[in-house]
Structure 1
Amino acid sequence: MAQELVLDDITAMMARYQKTCRYTYTNQSPIIMHPDLKDLLDYRNHKIITRYNMDYPTAAMQAEEALHELMKFIWLCHKHKTDKLLYPDDKNLDFSCVIHAEMADIDKMWHTFLLFTRDYHEFCDTRLNGIFFHHDPLIGENTPVSEEDYTLELTRYLTYIHDHLGSETLIKWFQ
């Protein structure tokens, strides 16, 4: 009986992963799973929507739109991490997947989501396959970088956004 429960748990877990993940295989063994974009975009949470509307009534992005864009950002960061593992020599992946100043409403939504720690934990557990997606803000300890290097990294990042989420997302994030 206990063995059946374990098998049922494993079967349920695999079904959840197959539903919410894309598998990336190298030599027939999975090395990483990244979440399915559609599954992330389907995520709804009335508590964070309500709180965002209370805290940011004059934000450029309405709450639902900000949550939608946050889900795309989370997916993009996971995809970027997967791609870097698969293609470590690809110089086009040499950029940081970060929120820039123009993406402030997305960051505000992320901060709002983080206030609801149980919901955020459950989201990471169920939608990100147990991978806790940390928010690591920059605190002014950045290593100085030349304007040329900054421009190159930003160009790579913008190209990656365009290639994987389209020009509409790129414009929305950086308008």
Structure 2
Amino acid sequence: MLMKSLVATLAYQNDDLLIKFREFYSFSDEDLEFIFTELKTWLWIKALQAHKKIASPEDESLYFHFHVLPSLRVIDELWHVFILFTAEYRAFCQEYFGVYVDHTPSLPHRKLSDPEYRTDLEKEFYFIYQHLGPATLELWMHDLGERFPESLINSKYIYRGFAAGGSPVTLENRP
């Protein structure tokens, strides 16, 4: 059960995924590539944690959940679309990680005032910092949310239906 490097993982391409994502969101090509790169990095770090838990099951620092915080919403949206390509997603995980990377939704009732949740976040942040560095941690926990705020993501969302004449139905132009 070998895992490929982050560099190898980032080389993976899936044009169909990006075309499908564009049905829901009207991001530029540059933004789509950026978001896809961050998703692949997110999946890689989750797989790395799984491998480390197998190798060192006694290491308590490895037992935490990855949380899709509001700043990561755009990555999560692309992940949802990737999962719809079930066979491709499964094959990607197997080829690049040797394990299937599960998606677990965030639980809105968890608060920073909860010591268990706070400890979980601290472990997660340290793991990201340790393996991807402070720039990625800052990007994911802050900068990404500023570049792609939830309000922008919500306003760019295109409903799966179409208006008369085949036009995409957005929040702005729905009947």
If the TM-score is normalised by the length of the shorter chain, which range does it land in? Answer: 0.5 to 0.7
> How far is the alpha carbon of 1:101 from its aligned partner?
2.6
CA distance in 1, matches of 2:102, 2:56: 23
In the alignment, what sits opposite 2:74? 105
Q: Name the CA shift for 1:90/1:75 in 2 (closer, same or farther; >3 Å).
A: same
**TM-score where L is the length of structure 2:** 0.67
Q: Contact 2:71–2:140 at 8 Å: present in 1 too?
A: yes
CA distance in 2, matches of 1:84, 1:111: 25
Task: Give the AA of the match of 1:47.
Answer: D
Q: Contact 2:21–2:81 at 8 Å: present in 1 too?
A: yes
Q: Name the CA shift for 1:165/1:54 in 2 (closer, same or farther; >3 Å).
A: same
Equivalent in 92, 103, 114 of residue 135 of structure 1: 103
CA distance in 1, matches of 2:6, 2:133: 13
> How far is the alpha carbon of 1:48 from its aligned partner?
1.3
Q: Tell me: higher relative CO, structure 1 or 2? Use CA pairs within 8 A at least 6 residues apart.
A: 2
Q: Name the CA shift for 1:144/1:101 in 2 (closer, same or farther; >3 Å).
A: closer
Give the alignment's Cα RMSD to 1 decimal: 2.7
1:37 has 2:3 as partner: no
Q: Name the CA shift for 1:85/1:174 in 2 (closer, same or farther; >3 Å).
A: same
Q: Name the CA shift for 1:72/1:39 in 2 (closer, same or farther; >3 Å).
A: same
CA distance in 1, matches of 2:96, 2:54: 21
CA distance in 1, matches of 2:139, 2:5: 21
Aligned-residue sequence identity (percent) comes to 26
Structure 1 residues without counterparts, runs of 5 or longer = 1-31
**TM-score where L is the length of structure 1:** 0.67
In the alignment, what sits opposite 2:128? 161
> How far is the alpha carbon of 1:128 from its aligned partner?
3.0
CA distance in 2, matches of 1:85, 1:65: 31
Query: Which secondary structure state, in structure 2, belongs to the residue aligned with residue 66 of structure 1?
Result: helix
1:51 has 2:20 as partner: yes
Q: Contact 1:96–1:157 at 8 Å: present in 2 too?
A: yes
Query: 1:96-116: CA deviations, max 9, x gaps?
Result: 123223211111111111222
Structure 2 residues without counterparts, runs of 5 or longer = 143-175
CA distance in 2, matches of 1:135, 1:127: 17
Task: Give the AA of the match of 2:38.
Answer: E
Task: Give the AA of the match of 2:52.
Answer: D
Aligned residues: 141
Q: Which structure has the larger Rg over C-alpha atoms?
A: 1
